[in-house]
Amino acid sequence: MKIAYLGLGIMGRPMAANLVKAGHDVTVWNRTPKSLDGARTADTPAEAAKGAEVVWLCVADTRAVETVLFGQQGVSGVLRPGMTVIDSSTIAPSATRAFAERVRAKGAEFVDAPVTGSKIGAENAQLLFIVGGPEKKVAELNPLFMALGKKVIRVGETGAGESAKIGMNLMIAEIFQSFAEGLALTGKLGVPPEILLELIQNSMIKSGVTDYKGSFVLNNDWSPNFPLRLMLKDIHLMQDAARELNVELPALKEVEKVYQKAVDAGHANDDYAVTVETVRNL
């Protein structure tokens, strides 16, 4: 297929690379000019998207998606019937529904397809796609998702993918917070962290979160797989949705304070696992 891939960050680059590997005809665009082996490079989102069957986005946040789609040199100007926009960024469900309406007004289709699996999942084509959009269109896109992932779950109509994704990240943030607090307390009690991790992985506490992050934490390796600034962005998405719907999230308020402290200490671009240090230093 002829695909435009917009956003070559930690997630976007390996996703686009796997589309090239699967034999698709890929044109890439990134705000800060970047190229990708085997793909053409465009100077603007519109140039990349012109004539593409699929326009796939993975950019930082709601505002970035809006700019890429509807900004001056955005995709919107070249949208045609038959084109599909897939958004794999994690953004607000309400904004997603509004963007989808604007895309459909041009005769094109829109599917929200945020992912989980982080950098390693993207590199190894092991992502889980959490999808919102028309059932028939999502089914049609299945082979494309499966070139980059291990599973596709359609949650419901437009925006449902983003709704589920922010709920899942809420749980990741809170599971990781409990890991950080467990490490802080047992560390002071004299339990070696590698033993704690071994205990966790052999008990009912075992989780994908500790599987992924355990070795990074043991090595104090805070290089970004999922940058802290993006998890804080997601915490704010969760809190906005909760406010709109009158849902209380008491533990998340405390987690947010920890992330804000970590940002204030200069860790915005480090992995969110650095909050192990933040909690230890409280």
Buried b (16+ CB within 10 A) or exposed e, 55-71: bbbbbbbbebbbebbeb
- Give the pairing of strands 84-87 and 25-29: unpaired
Q: Is 261 in the active site? A: no
10 binds ligand NAP (CB under 6 A): yes
Q: How far is the CB of 14 from ligand NAP (least distance, A)?
A: 9
d(CA 136, CA 209): 33
Give the per-residue contact string, 66-105, with ligand NAP (x = CB under 6 A; - = no): -xx--------------------xx---------------
Cβ partners under 8 Å of residue 256, min gap 6: 232, 235, 236, 239
Cα 106 to Cα 75, 83, 85, 141, 279: the distances in Å are 11, 10, 12, 20, 49
**Contact criterion met (CB below 8 Å) for 271 and 225:** yes
Closer of 133 and 196 to ligand NAP (Cβ): 133
Q: Per the structure block, which two tokens stand in for 194? A: 């590698």
Q: Which of 50, 106, 137, 165 does the annotation list as catalytic?
A: 165
Q: Closest distance between ligand NAP and the C-beta of residue 174, in Å?
A: 17
Residues 124-183 that bind ligand NAP (CB under 6 A): none
Which lies closer to ligand NAP via its Cβ, residue 63 or residue 194?
Answer: 63
- Asked whether 241 and 169 are in contact (CB, 8 A), the reply is no
Is residue 42 within 8 Å of 4, Cβ to Cβ? yes
Q: Which of residues 40-69 bind ligand NAP (CB under 6 A)?
A: 58-61, 63-64, 67-68
Cβ proximity to ligand NAP, 164 vs 196, nearer residue: 164
Q: Which one of residues 32, 202, 203, 246 is an interface residue with ligand NAP (CB under 6 A)?
A: 32
Among 52, 78, 115, 200, binds ligand NAP (CB under 6 A): 115
Q: Least distance from C-beta 136 to ligand NAP, angstroms?
A: 26
Contacts of 62 (CB under 8 A, 6+ apart): 91, 92, 95, 237
Which residues are designated catalytic? 165
Q: Using CB under 6 A as the criterion, which residues of the chain lie in contact with ligand NAP when the complex forms?
A: 7-12, 30-32, 58-61, 63-64, 67-68, 89-90, 115-116, 118-119, 225-227, 230
